[in-house]
Structure 1
Amino acid sequence: MCHRPDAADRFPVDWLRLSEHRYLVTVDWPAAHRFFAPLPGGRQDPMLVAETTRQATMMLAHAAYGVPVGDQFVMQELGYRLLTDEFTVLAASGPIDVVVDCSDVQLRAGRLVGMRVDLRFQRLGRVLATSMGILYCTSARVYRRLRGASMDAAAGAVPLLPAVPAHETGRTDPADVVLARSKHRPGWRLRLNTAHPTLFARPNDHVPGMVLLEAARQAATALTPGHDFHPASMRVAFHKYCELAEPCWLLAGHETDADQGPVVRVRGIQGEEPVFTATLGTAVRDDG
């Protein structure tokens, strides 16, 4: 129900209804993972918060709201924020309690079509992070009509572009790099390794959202002098499907946000139209 075929990539392990639209989800965060690996200095990978948000939301949509397994999900927005400087492997691995509040729950003929989720991650009574997401659901029949020829085009082979050096993106394994050099435009081109066991764990007719989140993180890291960028917060808006068969260009720049201070803004462009916009910050805000 988490849409992860490999047990090593599944983090929710159980759930309990607390009230009509509030749930407690127990997750198990790894101390080591093939992709969501610990960062230098013993830091836990904050992208675990984003991935767990995605998985827990889909699990509850199926288990608590009865969404058929064959239905499709569209995540319109996703964001997280760390609430402690001690987001380390020691402090943020093992059993994690996640309280999930679902709001703006939209039902049509008793069927879930959309909702907002707000998550609070705690371990041993200590709040580690919060996150949010806005999700929409569609039946397999409607999804096929919506995607049309794009589903057929996605069946073709996707060329694997030469990767940017892994250290520039904050990765150690070149197979995990999702950035390629851009020869004729600013920024980078999205690199798709469709054989990647975590990013492309199952067949897709479009680029998975987690690939775009990772692209935003890697672009921010590549932009940062010394390539040491720790995204304590991220907020992503997905504007349209990112097609596998078309080039996607990534642009990143430093900006100042009124609430977060210095941030990196990353945009994904395909066919001269925005695919996603991401804002990443390094400041940890402990607001309780």
Structure 2
Amino acid sequence: MPRHLVHRHAVAEVFLTDYRIESDSTYHVAVQLPVSHRIFDASCEQHDPLGVAEAFRQAVVLLCHTRYDIPLHYKFLMETFSFEMLDAFDVQPAAEPLTFCITVDNLTHRDGAVSGVEVTGVLREGTRHVARCNAVARGASPEGYRRIRQGREDYCPRQRILPSGTAVIGSERVGRSNNRDVLISTDAARQTVFCTPDPRNHSLFDHPVDHIPGMILFEAARQAVRYRTGDPATQIATLSAGFPRFTEWETPCHVSTTSLDASGNVHRVRFTQDQQTTAELELTIADAS
């Protein structure tokens, strides 16, 4: 799959290989998930659910460009995103083919052209259903994006931006082997957690972005839950997210985690800048067994 069709610069970061048109609104998209990746970790012999989410994100972008004529130079904005792991998803030496069976609904139009879509996909390993995903996305023209971003559209940080008095959390506490892969920091005195990714980490950012994107927030949320629960092996079974605002690089971004049930398996993770929510996620922890 050409990398520009999924908004990736590095060939190794493209998780799709092909697609087939079934009808005007249904498609089969072939997927090849990495078995070795710094961020989407398969070291526990299971595919990383966030790798599934990234493959689905790429499928949404691919179909918007190739089937719904959203121009390649448009920006993509995810309004909502969710996924649910349906079955065990082990890394296999001779795996069955992976395919997203995708339906595109609820097209929105602007100036006579498609501007937004709702996409639902079921990831199949052979005939077995292993994950379900949904996203609502829209494209923004360069002119429209400049209006939305109000002068921030060319912002490009050169290093990790840490709020005063904070330090990056130790990688072992969030299930990482390299501190550059840690996306959160904390003020030890107040135990406040901040989202502070390193823009020089090319496994996370294979091209510059003017804000912190949703996939990075997913990993930051996972790390925040791992840190708060004290379990660096915590994995996600379900996730749903909304993005009411952009998450900016240069403004301190507070990450709060709240347990929503007695078992401690369901959590709300909220990202806040200047007392305004930029993203809110609800996630369920996978059964350790």
**Could you state the TM-score of these two structures normalised by the residue count of structure 1?**
0.90
Residue 119 of structure 1: aligned partner: 121
2:57 aligned with 1:54, yes or no? yes
For 1:220 and 1:132, locate their aligned partners in 2 and report how far apart those are by CA, in whole Å: 23
For 1:182 and 1:8, locate their aligned partners in 2 and report how far apart those are by CA, in whole Å: 36
Contact 2:36 2:43 (C-alpha < 8 Å) held by counterparts: no
- The C-alpha deviation readout for 1:188-231, integer Å capped at 9, x for no partner, is 11112101113211111111211111111111111123333110
Residue 201 of structure 2: aligned partner: 196
By how many angstroms is 1:35 displaced? Answer: 2.2
Residue 30 of structure 1: aligned partner: 34
Contact 1:92 1:123 (C-alpha < 8 Å) held by counterparts: no
Contact 1:2 1:56 (C-alpha < 8 Å) held by counterparts: yes
Contact 2:185 2:195 (C-alpha < 8 Å) held by counterparts: yes
**Shift in CA distance, 159/172, structure 1 to aligned 2, threshold 3 Å:** closer
For 1:249 and 1:144, locate their aligned partners in 2 and report how far apart those are by CA, in whole Å: 26
For 2:94 and 2:132, locate their aligned partners in 1 and report how far apart those are by CA, in whole Å: 13
When the two structures are aligned, how many residues end up with a matched partner? 279
Residue 21 of structure 1: aligned partner: 25
Contact 1:30 1:93 (C-alpha < 8 Å) held by counterparts: no
Residue 12 of structure 2: aligned partner: 8
- The C-alpha deviation readout for 1:101-130, integer Å capped at 9, x for no partner, is 111011234422111111100012111110
By how many angstroms is 1:283 displaced? Answer: 4.6
2:233 aligned with 1:233, yes or no? no
CA RMSD of aligned residues (A): 2.1
Residue 150 of structure 1: aligned partner: 152
By how many angstroms is 1:158 displaced? Answer: 4.2
For 2:158 and 2:251, locate their aligned partners in 1 and report how far apart those are by CA, in whole Å: 12
Contact 1:100 1:119 (C-alpha < 8 Å) held by counterparts: yes
Percent of aligned positions that are identical: 28
Residue 140 of structure 1: aligned partner: 142
Equivalences for 1:1-288 in 2 at 5 Å? Answer: 1-40=5-44, 42-84=45-87, 86-90=88-92, 95-152=97-154, 154-161=155-162, 162-183=167-188, 185-256=190-261, 262-283=265-286
Contact 2:253 2:272 (C-alpha < 8 Å) held by counterparts: yes
For residue 127 of structure 1, what is the amino acid of its counterpart? H
Equivalent residue of 2:153, what SS?
helix
For 2:79 and 2:111, locate their aligned partners in 1 and report how far apart those are by CA, in whole Å: 22
Equivalent residue of 1:218, what SS?
helix
Structure 1 segments unaligned to the other structure (5+ residues): none
For residue 30 of structure 1, what is the amino acid of its counterpart? P
Contact 2:31 2:99 (C-alpha < 8 Å) held by counterparts: yes
By how many angstroms is 1:43 displaced? Answer: 1.9
**Shift in CA distance, 229/61, structure 1 to aligned 2, threshold 3 Å:** same
For 1:188 and 1:72, locate their aligned partners in 2 and report how far apart those are by CA, in whole Å: 30
Contact 2:161 2:250 (C-alpha < 8 Å) held by counterparts: no
Contact 2:195 2:253 (C-alpha < 8 Å) held by counterparts: yes
Task: Name which structure has the greater RCO, CA cutoff 8 Å, separation 6+.
Answer: 1
For 2:140 and 2:214, locate their aligned partners in 1 and report how far apart those are by CA, in whole Å: 17
**Shift in CA distance, 167/265, structure 1 to aligned 2, threshold 3 Å:** same
For 2:38 and 2:181, locate their aligned partners in 1 and report how far apart those are by CA, in whole Å: 10
Equivalent residue of 2:101, what SS?
strand
**Could you state the TM-score of these two structures normalised by the residue count of structure 2?**
0.90
For 2:229 and 2:175, locate their aligned partners in 1 and report how far apart those are by CA, in whole Å: 10
By how many angstroms is 1:93 displaced? Answer: 6.0
By how many angstroms is 1:60 displaced? Answer: 0.5
Contact 2:79 2:244 (C-alpha < 8 Å) held by counterparts: yes
For 2:83 and 2:192, locate their aligned partners in 1 and report how far apart those are by CA, in whole Å: 25
For 2:204 and 2:243, locate their aligned partners in 1 and report how far apart those are by CA, in whole Å: 17
For 1:210 and 1:262, locate their aligned partners in 2 and report how far apart those are by CA, in whole Å: 21
For 1:98 and 1:80, locate their aligned partners in 2 and report how far apart those are by CA, in whole Å: 13
